[in-house]
Amino acid sequence: MIRGIVRAFDERLGTARMTREVLNKVFPDHWSFLLGEVILYCFIILVATGVYLTLFFDASQQEVLYAGSYVPLQGVQMSRAYASALDITFSVRSGLVVRQVHHWAALLFAASMVTHLLRTFFTAAFRKPRELNWAVGVTLLMLAMVNGFTGYSLVDDQLSGTGLRIGYSIVLSIPFVGPWLSSLLLGGEFPGADIISRLFVLHVMIVPSIITLLLVVHMVILVRQKHTQFPGRGRREGNIIGLRLWPTYAMKAVGVFFLTGAVLALMGGLIQINPIWMFGPFRAADVSSASQPDWYVGWLEGALRLMPAWELRASPFEVPNPFYPSLVLAGGVFLVLYAWPWMEARLTRDHEIHHLLDRPSERPVRTPIGLAAISFFAVLFVAGGDDVIAVWLDMSVNTMVRILQLLAIVLPIVVFLVSRSAIRLRLRKQQEKAEPFCPRVGHSRWEARTLAALVLVFVWFTVTSLSSPSPHVLPETWTAKANAGMSGAQMYEAACAQCHGQNLEGVFGPAIGAGTDSEDMSDTLIQAVVFAGIGKMPPMPGVLTEIQVQEVIAFIRQLQGIG
């Protein structure tokens, strides 16, 4: 039977030769080559979960009164988009799990892309003839970020609205055409009449189609050019050694696919992500404090925060501040990424074809540059949560920002110098073993100068931050809503009633009325719980001040007395 079908195809398409070629393709057996595969598996899972969500999501900005099963938001005015996202979460079978798996898969998708890119960079797999595939990969990374952002924004809750608004400001800062572009994108001034439906088309059709196309291109090029491999016994530029695709490697790949799915299912089921019901519908006049974007845009968020308040003005024109940390930085980063293979070939005058990989520990320039870049992004990433970290460290946000600004400049240079010396030392030791010692000189002057420059930067920063007139802001001292002077009852309503109920009866959180454990808890203990969070309860510093918490506690005590 099967033989008959195979023959029928072969008679019409001549498929046997192609099949043999594919089944016999050799895959190098090194764990780091799996990173690329995980990207593909994440994408498959994203499409599968995404299709399911699409069936229930309603990409409309029409305002409705929510009447779904989530009690605290019943009767609240919101867009149909947000209402349907709540329905997916609370009413659709498996909806919450599928939504969370989708979100986790998106994070893993981006993460495996970045690690795959790092692997390719540090082992120099991007060199001729693979520059084109490198460029395709960089484009895929960019598209993954775009699609992550559009997906995050679709839900139309307070958090996604805030992110969208920052994105809108970045579009506005594009030279001269910014206002036009943003108006065309949103269908008018922010929030715009059509933004959700347009994001939806981008998120479920346009960007995924391009991603699919480019993934195919990436793999076709890969098959045509064959894999790279690490140098080793028997491995030459002219051959490739590893497992043939069929049957062992294919089976293992399928296994890895299921393992990826298993991990994502576990995360989607057990680890809460983006609890949209806690944020409420988007209102332009509100803001959710301590909001964090998804990790792959965290570095941009950090850059926005660390950017000094520079603004060029030449009346009537001005360069808005977000222009530098978003468009210039992100544009620069991707430009360098795209250009890297060609740049390196030019600088090293190496235009040869390479199929054997470099060992990162033996490259005294490329590896330090990569590590320095990683450290730079790490600082930006940390800066994206500087307010939260400042609360942890009990430090003023201002000091935190100054320190991180300094680190963003200094750390990459230090990382570069240290890792370069380490690699050189290693290489020299290897060389000494192989051949008699020949001393190398010449670089110490340059290094000394760099260090001197670093010291100067340090001094400058200390002087400017000491003389900076800015007040030192401790986040806890800020009142929650701009409506200062809210009573304990109002604040309870705003911050606590969602979970503990209007009358302490408990909804998603436990009841805290008369006769419960909470009645026996001391005020100090309750205050500690409010600030630190417990179990599913989020920590509240930055939301309520100490005095406010005391007022809320007083209100709760009053209710407990009545009960």
Partner 1 sequence: MPNPRVPRVAFGVTILSGIGLLVVYGTGGQPQLEGLLWFYALAGLGVGIIVGANNYLPNEESEEERHPLASSEEMLAAARADFHRADGGDEALDAERRSLLRLLAGAFAAIGVAVVFPIRSLGPHPSDDLRETDFAKGVRLVTVDGAPVKSGQLGVGELLTVFPEGHTRAGDSPTLLIRYDEEEFLPAGGRASWVTDGMVAYSKICTHAACAVGLYQNVTGLLLCPCHQSTFDVNNACTPTFGPATRPLPQLPIAIDSEGFVVAQSDYPEPVGPGYWDRMNNV
120/162 with CB nearer partner 1: 162
Burial 49-84 (b: 16+ CB within 10 A, else e): bbebbeeebbbbbeebebebebebbeeeebbbbbbb
78/415 with CB nearer partner 1: 78
318/505 with CB nearer partner 1: 318
100/419 with CB nearer partner 1: 100
DSSP class per residue in 419-446: HHHHHHHHHHHHHHHHS------SSHHH
156/368 with CB nearer partner 1: 156
Cβ atoms of 152 and 291 closer than 8 Å:
no
Rounded to 5 degrees, what angle do the CA atoms 104, 100, 191 make? 95
CB of 75 to partner 1, least distance (A): 14
CB of 384 to partner 1, least distance (A): 10
366/551 with CB nearer partner 1: 551
CA dihedral angle for residue 107, residue 112, residue 114, residue 115, rounded to 10 degrees:
140
257/338 with CB nearer partner 1: 257
168/416 with CB nearer partner 1: 168
CB of 161 to partner 1, least distance (A): 9
CB of 22 to partner 1, least distance (A): 13
CB of 150 to partner 1, least distance (A): 16
CB of 425 to partner 1, least distance (A): 34
* Pairing mode of beta strands 63-65, 312-314: unpaired
51/451 with CB nearer partner 1: 51
CB of 488 to partner 1, least distance (A): 16
What amino acid occupies position 70?
Answer: Y
374/473 with CB nearer partner 1: 473
Which residues 6+ apart lie within 8 Å of 216 measured at CB? none
146/287 with CB nearer partner 1: 287
Cβ atoms of 440 and 428 closer than 8 Å:
yes
The Cα 244–Cα 224 span in angstroms is: 15
Among all chains, which residue has been given the structure tokens 């909470």?
518
Nearest by Cα to 70 from 95, 90, 85, 53: 90
Q: What's the sign of the alpha-carbon dihedral 130, 134, 140, 143? A: negative
97/118 with CB nearer partner 1: 97
CB of 399 to partner 1, least distance (A): 11
What amino acid occupies position 6?
Answer: V
Q: CA-CA distances (angstroms) from residue 74 to 67, 77, 87, 154?
A: 5, 9, 12, 21
DSSP for residue 234: T
CB of 162 to partner 1, least distance (A): 6
The Cα 200–Cα 155 span in angstroms is: 10
247/332 with CB nearer partner 1: 247
* Pairing mode of beta strands 312-314, 317-319: antiparallel
CB of 426 to partner 1, least distance (A): 29
CB of 418 to partner 1, least distance (A): 31
What amino acid occupies position 301?
Answer: E
DSSP class per residue in 460-488: HHHHHHHH-------GGGS-SSS-TT--H
The Cα 512–Cα 519 span in angstroms is: 7
254/343 with CB nearer partner 1: 254
CB of 185 to partner 1, least distance (A): 7
DSSP class per residue in 135-160: HHHHHHHHHHHHHHHHHHHHT-BHHH
Can you name the residues that pair with 26 across neighbouring β-strands?
244
Q: What is the 3-state secondary structure (H, E, C) of 68-104?
A: CCCHHHCCCEEEHHHHHHHHHHHCCCCHHHHHHHHHH
CB of 481 to partner 1, least distance (A): 7
Longest CA span, the chain: 90
CB of 261 to partner 1, least distance (A): 4
